[in-house]
């Protein structure tokens, strides 16, 4: 009953209006498909005026279903098997996936999910379907029980004890796993550990999972000798992990020759060679012997000054100098090791870093 009232109040009412409108149009125009139906069997007069949502042409019904939210689509799956088949369709969920999770589901997270599905398939004894050669959704239809839709209960106060069978390889299953916080995925976290002073203006790899109750994330960082975790990480502090540079790989710096004072960059840094790299934000500075903006020729020098302006000028962390030609990884056990560099190309990247700027200059 709860489900029915939910549907009536949130979805069906709206759909019913559209259905009535469609019905009125159909009556007026006397479309051929409707007349053909009438000829098939003799109808009781009052039944002739009734029309089910499923009597609508597929395209019209699809247009209506596309307007539904994820929770409304889930609710509709419990109405009847025909509507369920339509409401679990990947094409309806891809749009919701993109809207809510598109920014964070980078290549690394997609790869992780596929590997997770692969493992599930293997566990279910279907090894023949377990290899994926492209980035399209996997097509084998092994089902899993989503029970209950806990994120729905939290968001809408509904109790879906019955659960629902959905394909493991469906976008809906992926979406539900993200919302339920069952899927830990790779992402990078800005200013890790709640802006711990040792990590301000950096971005580190982590495994994160969503908590729909607080609309934030839990993060786990892996580091040599110490595991750290953090709760209540806001959406704005996350970005997708890079699949081309894992946290222990040295990034290939292909921007060094073109760097000029004032350019914004990120550089890999790690405390010792056993630690993973984090990405640190900085701005290219002037060489010590440079007169400044007017007669600057820093861009032509073989060395480039990498400045970290969140630190005081006298701080040992304020700047480092790297060689444009031969740079790979430089540093020592005291100052840490500076790795690959990437130049920030978009205003959005720079704005994101500026938003994270500490309230006070660091020592």
Chain residues in the site for Zn ion (CB under 5 A): 286, 290, 296, 298
The nearer residue to Zn ion, 264 or 286, going by C-beta atoms, is: 286
CB of 103 to Zn ion, least distance (A): 37
* CB nearer Zn ion, residue 124 or residue 290: 290
128: Cα separation from own chain's centroid: 29
SS3 237: helix
Nearer to Zn ion, 225 or 313 (CB): 313
In angstroms, give the least distance from the CB of 303 to Zn ion: 11
Q: Which two tokens stand for residue 218?
A: 């839990």
Comparing CB distances to Zn ion, the nearer of 121 and 298 is: 298
- Nearer to Zn ion among residue 286 and residue 327 (C-beta): 286
Q: Tokens 């109405």, residue?
A: 79
Q: Half-sphere exposure of residue 205, counting CA atoms within 13 Å on the CB side? A: 21
Classify each residue of 317-335 as buried b or exposed e, where b means 16 or more C-beta atoms within 10 Å of its C-beta. Answer: bbbbebebeebeeebeeee
Q: What is the DSSP letter of 138?
A: P
Distance in Å, CB of 304 to Zn ion, minimum = 10
8 A C-beta contact, residue 342 and residue 251: yes
Q: How far is the CB of 263 from Zn ion (least distance, A)?
A: 12
Minimum CB distance to Zn ion, residue 306 (Å)? 13
Contact 217, 238 (CB under 8 A): yes
Q: Are 233 and 215 in contact (CB under 8 A)?
A: no
Residue with smaller CB distance to Zn ion, 290 or 321: 290
Least separation in angstroms between CB 332 and Zn ion: 27
Q: What are phi and psi of 231, to 5 degrees?
A: -110, 165
């Amino acid at each position: 009953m709860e489900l029915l009232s939910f549907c009536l109040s949130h979805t069906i009412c709206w759909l019913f209006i559209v259905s009535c409108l469609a019905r009125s149009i159909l009556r007026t125009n006397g479309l051929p498909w409707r007349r053909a139906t009438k000829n098939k069997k003799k109808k009781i007069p009052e039944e002739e005026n009734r029309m089910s949502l499923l009597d609508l042409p597929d395209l019209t019904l699809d247009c209506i279903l596309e307007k539904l939210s994820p929770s409304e689509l889930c609710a509709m799956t419990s109405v009847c098997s025909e509507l369920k088949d339509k409401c679990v369709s990947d094409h309806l969920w891809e749009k919701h996936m993109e809207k809510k999770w598109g920014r964070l589901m980078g290549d690394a997270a997609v790869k992780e999910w596929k590997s997770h599905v692969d493992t599930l398939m293997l566990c279910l004894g279907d090894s023949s379907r377990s290899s994926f050669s492209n980035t399209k959704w996997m097509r084998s239809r092994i089902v899993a029980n989503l029970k209950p839709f806990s994120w729905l209960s939290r968001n809408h106060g509904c109790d879906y004890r019955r659960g629902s069978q959905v394909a493991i390889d469906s976008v809906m299953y992926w979406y539900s796993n993200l919302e339920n916080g069952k899927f830990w995925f790779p992402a990078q976290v800005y200013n890790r550990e709640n802006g711990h002073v040792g990590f301000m203006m950096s971005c580190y790899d982590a495994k994160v999972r969503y908590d729909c109750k607080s609309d934030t994330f839990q993060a786990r960082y892996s580091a040599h000798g110490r595991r750290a975790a953090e709760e209540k990480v806001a959406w704005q502090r996350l970005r997708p992990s890079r699949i081309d540079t894992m946290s222990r790989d040295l990034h290939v710096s292909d921007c060094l020759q073109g760097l000029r004072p004032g350019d914004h960059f990120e550089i890999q840094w790690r405390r010792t060679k056993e630690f993973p790299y984090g990405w640190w934000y900085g701005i290219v500075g002037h060489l010590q012997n440079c007169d400044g903006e007017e007669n600057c020729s820093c861009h032509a020098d073989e060395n480039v000054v990498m400045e970290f302006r969140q630190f005081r000028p006298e701080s040992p962390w304020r700047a480092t100098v790297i060689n444009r030609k031969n740079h790979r990884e430089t540093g020592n056990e005291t100052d840490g090791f500076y790795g690959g560099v990437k130049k920030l190309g978009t205003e959005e990247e720079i704005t994101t870093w500026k938003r994270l700027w500490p309230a006070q200059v660091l020592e």
